[in-house]
Structure 1
Amino acid sequence: MSGAVGAGVYIHPIAFATGPQAEDGAAIRLAGSMVYASRFALVTREGAVAVRRSLFGVREFESALGDLDAALETEARRQWGNLQKAHAPLQAGERTIRFDQPQVMGVLNVTPDSFSDGGDFLERPDAGKAHAAAMLEAGAAVIDIGGESTRPGAAATWEGDEKERVLPAVEYCAAMGAAISVDTRRAGVLEAALQAGAHIANDVSALRYDPRSAELAANAGCPVILMHAPGSGDDLHDGGEYDDVVSDVFDFLKDARERAIAGGIAEDRIMLDPGIGFGKSLADNLALLNALPLFHALGSPLLLGVSRKRLIGALSHEEAAHDRLGGSLALAMRGMDAGVHMLRVHDVKETVQARNVWRGLRDAALTDFAQLPMD
């Protein structure tokens, strides 16, 4: 996936405030979230090389454009607008999912071999149903149902097997009134799941794996989640080589978003996911996590899936997946601090509690300076 072509520009939020009043109004609200940014880095890239980095504050944007050529200036202005764009709520059946605070998506794997909870709910539908109900009660805004393991080295799943795994779970979650996303890259599975009561397409191939998927999603009018993965074939992890992982993933998601819109998918029904852990080294994953605020410049709500992933074990004594709650919460907090709109997690109750405390701190911070006179 290396080999960036042409020139590009990227606006990185690099300094943050508890609210605009903390900077006397010189801070922007990132993508309608509860996070405010006050300082930025404008980076220009030619091919694989970053050739310029300039820093600016909110009131210095015009001067920061400097001598950019017309195309780069147009793109910089588009990104600047996107960084300040408040996203419309997502409609999932009768459920409305608002993005004015981080939302939590609960994972329901109905697979025999997923890295974390594979097999727990496939052969025991009553256990799956109870788990889904518990996640909804704990505050999950969406239940994400997956019938294929996408861990490194996992074999591709036959479409018929995936349907047999996914559809019963969709049906019992739909009976609970849940907002449901289906984690699949196959149009046949997506079509059957939507008919059974699912609402959202969560495609780890960004609609590249199955040529029917984009048209199906457009015709169905369903929201889609486009994730970065370097591989477009059976192995999503194949080809994870980058000139600059942050810029390369940004460019990939920009292109995927534009293709989806050109294919008839409404702009306000697209979410983007940087694909942590998919064809990326530990260093790549950490670079993306540290650069998360940049991805608001793409203009769509962001989803982050880091729960129980291998990078947590790599940073902490190689703990097994079920022993990674602390690391999962730390990364969820990193996402919230970056203004991510939705967190895909296994441990819903604990993540919702962390989110609620985080929100309490944010709400309180908005009044911290209210009584102080300004010089």
Structure 2
Amino acid sequence: KANYFSKFSKAPVICRLVGRKVLDGVGQPTLEVEIYCTVKNYEKRICSTVMSSHSQIPENALCETTEADEKERNDAVNTAVEWVNESLNTMLRDLKPTDQCKVDKMLGEYFTKKAEEKKEIQKQEEEEEAAATLALTSSTPSATALPGKKKAAKPGKKVAAAERMIPPAEPVEAVLCGSSAIGGTSLAIAKAGATISHIPLYLHIALLKCNQDSPKEITLPLPMVTLLNCEKFSPAKLKLVKEVMLIPPVQLSRKQGIERVLDIQKEMMRLLEPPGKAPQVLKRMSHLGCLIMECDNLEQPLLLMQTACNNIGLELGTDIYLAINCAAHELMDYVKGKYEILTGTFKSPDEMVDMYVELINKFPFIIALIDPLRKEVR
């Protein structure tokens, strides 16, 4: 009887959001959002979600740069926790966790309001700074320029400078401090809606897109798994390749694809292990769990990958494919206006394109190049 009447009970509603600061898989502070709902007149914890974070600060960065990044990250997480526990907790109370569209609309409006407040504060600070600069300039006597003719620059130098002109790097897009609270809360509520509806999260999200009509089929993206990390700041010569990724063929299931990647990883670890020495895997693993390899030329990691696949009976281009993350924006020498692909070897954008064409013709199992050129010159 209790089960019969339960279907007539009020639908679960959000009663509490809890935000807290936690550490992610690499020890960096990040945001966790926990959802509590009122279910049959009782408060019940439904789910929680942790926002993934990543660090773009290289391992050999200056202490000042690392400290500034850590402070910025901590400030952002602390602000996000404050938003979740205060404003968002009050704003989303008594809403149904299955009403994702309404929740996201309210979150979007809240974010817009915070962004406008930030712009207003920045505008006031700029006006105050300009006023202070003007007052300082007016109180300081200007230096009198000595008469004399300016030396005209040589025409040859002007032409040379013009030839070296390259598009400058785009400024880093500012991220609103605390904005991870918006994405974290939206994801947590989506997960809560899926839990209450007793369906997988991916299907719950698909139903939101398909207006509650169950899709006949769902296409998932192919996984890309980073296997090799070619450290650009190592003593080795190769700088062009940052990561080598494996892409399983489309006919494999997700589980089969990951198992195949793990088989290749085991063989790669065996090949990279110095003969006759005890395993020292931890010294050759990045903080993200990728094998680190120092290379002297572009073909070295690809040939090693080919050897590993051949040893376990796999064929590159049929049983597994490769993608290369070039991260070309990290290679630019702004003085020379060229990319330093190897230590002391520089190439122009046109030469880079020719090199990529030659590389793919030689290794046709490479089906993706990530960031092959700076976006400013594409």
Q: TM-score, normalised by structure 2?
A: 0.24
Q: Which structure is higher in RCO with an 8 Å CA cutoff and minimum separation 6?
A: 1
The structure number with the bigger radius of gyration is 2
Q: TM-score, normalised by structure 1?
A: 0.24
